[in-house]
């Protein structure tokens, strides 16, 4: 997700348990409750504009 964060494209990510990776605008920090993205798990990724995301194991 780092390239999306660096390019100001990522809005948030939510995993199948409801944990979030989300930008806290008031503190200008990211809250990461997910940790690392894991193979075989489901994620909702919300971006601010069209982009491509390629995940490799």
Q: Which helix (H) or strand (E) is 4 found in, with range?
A: helix 2-6
**Backbone region of residue 53 per phi and psi (left: phi > 0; alpha: psi in -120 to 50; beta: other values):** beta
**H or E element, residue 7:** none
**What is the per-residue pLDDT for 56?**
75
Bridge partners of 22, per DSSP, are 12, 31
State yes or no: pLDDT of 46 exceeds 70: yes
pLDDT at 44 over 80: yes
Each residue's pLDDT tens digit, 2-42 = 889 999 999 999 999 999 999 998 888 999 999 998 888 99
Task: Read off the pLDDT band of 53 (50, 70, 90).
Answer: confident
Banded model confidence at residue 57, pLDDT cuts 50, 70, 90:
low
């Amino acid at each position: 997700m780092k390239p999306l964060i660096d390019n100001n494209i990522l809005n948030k990510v939510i995993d199948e348990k409801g944990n979030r990776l989300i930008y806290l605008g008031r503190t200008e920090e990211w809250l990461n409750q997910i940790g690392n993205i894991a193979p075989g798990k489901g994620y909702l990724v919300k971006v601010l504009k069209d982009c491509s995301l390629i995940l490799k194991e």
